[in-house]
Structure 1
Amino acid sequence: MKNGMDGQLYCEKHATSNQPTTSDENEAKNQEQFFDSLARIQGKRLNDQRCALPAFFQKETYSPKEREDKQPSVVILSKRNADETLLKKILTTEGPYPMIVMPEKGGYWIEECGESSGKYELKVDDTTILYRNCFLGKEHFNYYGVDDKLGPLVVSVKRESNKDSDKVLVILRMKRSTVYRQFSDSESLKANTKQLVTKMCSDITTDKFTPVLYHNASQRIVEYDEHVKMKNYKIGVIYQKKGQCSEEEIFGNSLHTPEYDHFLKIIGRRIKLKDFEGYRGGLDTNHCHTGEESVYTEYEDKHIMFHVSTLLPHDFDPQQLQRKRHIGNDIIAIVFQEPGSVFVPTLIASNFLHAFIIVQPVRTNEGLKYRIAVSARDDVPPFEPNLPTPSLVPENQLRDFIITKLINGENACYKAQIFAKLGERTRSELLETLYENLHTANVQALGPLAVSASSSSSTLSAPPSAVSTEKESFFVSVKRALGGSKRSQSVDSNLANSNKKMNNNNGFVSPPLATVGESDKPRKKSEKKSSKTSVSSETRYTIFTIFPHYNSLFSRMSCRL
């Protein structure tokens, strides 16, 4: 069309040619590529900005093959729709209904009733408290080294001798884990550090372990061991009314029933968030943007803040993101049900929630009791206390049971794959920091001894400038100690007085004592001091008797001295 217009507007002499030139072709090609790239960029941005519609507007169902082709948010939503359909189907039948059902796609386990001991104890990793309880303040030895495969290693060894038996307790700290073992056989009692740690982990190849002579090393080791101990917990509390089958319905609840209020009083106390000075669990205590009240409790030395869904802000958003933002980031949550409710773990979409404890009040002839059900993801190990048979807990035992179950459950969730990787990364970084601190402190205390002991197999070392400075200061100190021939006036006067006293009492005159680096024989007047300090055999014997670990170092230092 453009060529035709050119022919009408211009004369034949000035009319544009119908055949495009090479430059026109390149320009057209570049424009086409530009618009194609722009379309792809805009399309990607639009896809990133898409959001899934609420369940009410989602009427489609997808086959397994179609689900894989859809966006991840749509896939998750379709799974939730399938579980919501399952709940609705169950509720259409006659009761009684189960408290919890498995998702169609699996991925969770439901705890079965068993025998309960009636003792509710918090499970603590023994490796976090063993050093403080059994090593700190008692005679023991700490070592550090570097393995080519396992990285930095920190070892604690304690030997105990009793009338009945002798034993050796060893703690081995690695990037992947911390293990401990007690040896009592005669062969292990005579073994060195390398042999002991090899029995604990056969992957260790290094044979160089440097003793830690830093006075504050024990405190640093305690801090590393106890970095995994938790004192603060934030736990979600969800209220599910009878017949509710979707996340939007559950998070939309705002009113409390007397049974629900009574349950909250059992597990904690209602607090005002304004200017609250305790553990706040991510809630706003200055401007109360996360609600005016919450539920808080303390159990033994633990501090627990509950994220109660009905006490968090309620807005007109059907997804209630203000509530889900807190509860969806918790590790474990309580689901308080009205009778006639059914829960499925995938009903609450979250990458962090790994375990649920479902609670339902039951009126019996013996009084108010609570039926308990527990569900968690497949990679979460079981946690105590066990559910009794039947799974009914009396009101007077509910607080101890459920708080213990919550704390042990969250600690068990950290062993799941997603949290275990994060924990291993944190432990690796902290162990490297501990190694560097011990290594630097050893260099400051012993000079190049610590450096030479680990340089052949160590990939982590102190900064070169620090090492060189410490080497120089160490050599200067030893040189003064070995070669110093000058005495202060006070020393000479004391020696002279002592000699006079001995002469008056016993009639025996002893020669003045030689200082370190001096020979016992008096120097002749004609004899000049040598430019290089010579160390007598007596002096070397005295020094190496006091400091035997300097004997191997003396030969290397002689050239400098």
Structure 2
Amino acid sequence: MLFDLHEAAANRVSTTQRRNTTTGASAASAMASSLTASRANGLGGLDTAFTSTEDLNCKENLEQDLGDDNSNDLLLSCPHFRNEIGGEYERNVSFSRASAGSPGGSECRLAEPALSTYRTNASISVLEVPKEQQRTQSRPRQYSIEHVDLGARYYQDYFVGKEHASYFGVDEKLGPVAVSIKREKLEDHKDHGPQYQYRIIFRTHELITLRGSILEDATPTAMKHGTGRGLPLKDALEYVIPELNIHCLRLALNTPKVTEQLLKLDEQGLSRKHKVGILYCRAGQSSEEEMYNNEEAGPAFEEFLSLLGEKVCLRGFTKYAAQLDVKTDSTGTHSLYTTYQDYEIMFHVSTLLPYTPNNRQQLLRKRHIGNDIVTIIFQEPGALPFTPKNIRSHFQHVFIIVRAHNPCTDNVCYRQLLSGQTLPCPHCVPEHVPSHCSSHWRNDLLMWLLPH
């Protein structure tokens, strides 16, 4: 297995010690302010024992992460963020070195360094799908890491409506845990007779949910269970998850309410509706205030928006509106909407949201874009390099920078870069090569917008 429960317990302790940590782009700006204040205090010859309480709190809340020092003419390095500016290695997940090659033959891929024997819990999902639900997904073959946890429906597909048991408890090391387990009969085998297996879902607060199955005959026992009742369910759990303190578990009531709550817990990350902010950066601009105060879109920005989605009238709009007003036009008359595979995406476009004269903060715009996890920064030719530390937001974690080249001509093309506080998305960025407009380029960009 690729799951390390000891690591999960250690992460839980670490997280407990890091409460009230500043997140999002504000982490970068807070770190920058802290470093500036520290340098000022150092130049002034002040004793560190007399620095302000606010400064001390800032140092306690922010780990000393200075960024990755990746910068270019579009994007600057900053604390707490990782930049993909082109030519990076693409992350790959495989069970052996032999299968670790790059499928698809994408021209922007580089050979991945030798794989470490260390395995993390990242990018793992259940690939088993009931036969009646199997279907081929039209996903680009060059994307080797699944971006949706399809295993989130494991409880729905194999447990709901069938006899099973669920247990809840608080483990001393792992914290709150919820376990579901069932014993099921497999198709009879002519050589081995009746076969049984256990399906198990193990949920913790810090760990990606562990789901899977094990043959009953694989459990260490002195006798064949055959058609009897098999192992006690807790004994099966103790064998599969020895790190768990079985004695902390209590059997849950077999009620619709318990089933409903477990379904919500497992499928909370399966949203098919996403909102994305778009900020417009003119030539010579780079700050948040400048971008929010661009009242109208220029031709290059309009051209980009037309490639990205459909301009829709908000009044009476019946699809996903991402908290925009569809009755009274209080959030603007129009917005940008599109679909990709099974997803709906509504864009919060700065120039389509209400503009307030003589208000530099433009709160009617920022209240939407400032709460979006993913934000596109569209740069006209001549725009200054972007840095997340110019943004004041606890929620904006990922920025996709798109620079237009030769806009409004037959040779229009775009460069796109990524800056994220979370793990970089698993797509390679072409090194310093603008991409010409095409459905493939658009699909690449939309793929970046979805959660990974």
Deviation by residue 1:87-111 (Cα, 9 ceiling, x = unmatched): xxx9xxxxxx6210112xx221112
Residue in 2 that maps onto 1:179: 210
Tell me the distance in 1 between the aligned counterparts of 2:256 and 2:398: 44
Residue in 1 that maps onto 2:236: 196
Tell whether 2:242 aligns with 1:269: no
| Distance change in 2, residues 1:194/1:295 (3 Å) | same
1:183 counterpart letter in structure 2: I
Tell whether 2:423 aligns with 1:381: yes
The structure 2 residue matched to 1:144, chosen from 162, 167, 173, is 167
Residue in 1 that maps onto 2:148: 124
Residue in 1 that maps onto 2:80: 107
Residue in 2 that maps onto 1:235: 276
| Distance change in 2, residues 1:151/1:102 (3 Å) | closer
The structure 1 residue matched to 2:371, chosen from 323, 326, 329, is 329
Residue in 1 that maps onto 2:226: none
Once the 2 structures are TM-superposed, how far is the Cα of residue 176 of structure 1 from its aligned partner? Answer: 4.1
Residue in 2 that maps onto 1:461: none
1:62-73 matches, within 5 Å, as 64-66=39-41, 69=52
8 Å contact kept, 1:370–1:398: no
2:211 counterpart letter in structure 1: Y
The structure 1 residue matched to 2:182, chosen from 135, 157, 177, is 157
Once the 2 structures are TM-superposed, how far is the Cα of residue 131 of structure 1 from its aligned partner? Answer: 2.1
8 Å contact kept, 2:171–2:244: no
Unaligned runs of 5+ in 2: 1-35, 43-50, 59-70, 91-101, 105-139, 222-230
| Distance change in 2, residues 1:386/1:158 (3 Å) | farther
Once the 2 structures are TM-superposed, how far is the Cα of residue 195 of structure 1 from its aligned partner? Answer: 3.1
1:64-463 matches, within 5 Å, as 64-66=39-41, 69=52, 98-103=73-78, 106-111=79-84, 112-113=86-87, 114=89, 117=104, 118-119=140-141, 123-136=147-160, 141-147=164-170, 149=172, 150-151=175-176, 153-159=178-184, 161-162=186-187, 163=189, 167-177=197-207, 178-184=209-215, 186-188=217-219, 191-198=231-238, 199-200=240-241, 202-206=243-247, 210=251, 213-214=254-255, 221-315=262-356, 316-341=358-383, 342-363=385-406, 367-377=411-421, 380-389=422-431, 392-395=434-437, 396-408=439-451, 412=452
1:464-543 matches, within 5 Å, as none
| Distance change in 2, residues 1:233/1:201 (3 Å) | farther
8 Å contact kept, 2:185–2:196: yes
Tell me the distance in 1 between the aligned counterparts of 2:38 and 2:164: 63
| Distance change in 2, residues 1:366/1:189 (3 Å) | farther
CA RMSD in angstroms, aligned pairs only? 3.7
Once the 2 structures are TM-superposed, how far is the Cα of residue 257 of structure 1 from its aligned partner? Answer: 2.5
Normalised to the residue count of structure 2, the TM-score between the two structures is 0.62
Tell me the distance in 2 between the aligned counterparts of 1:349 and 1:211: 44
Tell me the distance in 2 between the aligned counterparts of 1:346 and 1:298: 31
Deviation by residue 1:195-250 (Cα, 9 ceiling, x = unmatched): 33333251323176648655786555434321332222221101111111322212
3-state SS, counterpart of residue 242 of structure 1:
coil
Tell me the distance in 2 between the aligned counterparts of 1:145 and 1:319: 47
* More divergent stretch after superposition (322-331 vs 192-201): 192-201
1:196 counterpart letter in structure 2: A
Once the 2 structures are TM-superposed, how far is the Cα of residue 331 of structure 1 from its aligned partner? Answer: 0.9
Normalised to the residue count of structure 1, the TM-score between the two structures is 0.51
8 Å contact kept, 1:127–1:179: no
Tell me the distance in 2 between the aligned counterparts of 1:152 and 1:272: 46
Higher RCO (Cα < 8 Å, 6 or more apart): 2
Tell me the distance in 2 between the aligned counterparts of 1:128 and 1:407: 17
Larger Rg computed on CA atoms: 1
1:156 counterpart letter in structure 2: I
Deviation by residue 1:408-453 (Cα, 9 ceiling, x = unmatched): 2xxx4xxxxxxxxxxxxxxxxxxxxxxxxxxxxxxxxxxxxxxxxx
| Distance change in 2, residues 1:293/1:214 (3 Å) | closer
Q: How many residues align?
A: 325
Residue in 1 that maps onto 2:63: none
Tell me the distance in 2 between the aligned counterparts of 1:235 and 1:241: 20
Tell me the distance in 1 between the aligned counterparts of 2:369 and 2:396: 8
The structure that is helix-richer by fraction is 1
| Distance change in 2, residues 1:253/1:126 (3 Å) | same
Once the 2 structures are TM-superposed, how far is the Cα of residue 175 of structure 1 from its aligned partner? Answer: 4.1
| Distance change in 2, residues 1:66/1:311 (3 Å) | farther
| Distance change in 2, residues 1:344/1:223 (3 Å) | closer
Once the 2 structures are TM-superposed, how far is the Cα of residue 286 of structure 1 from its aligned partner? Answer: 2.3
8 Å contact kept, 1:158–1:170: no
Residue in 1 that maps onto 2:227: none
Deviation by residue 1:309-332 (Cα, 9 ceiling, x = unmatched): 111111211222222222111111
Tell me the distance in 2 between the aligned counterparts of 1:298 and 1:359: 20
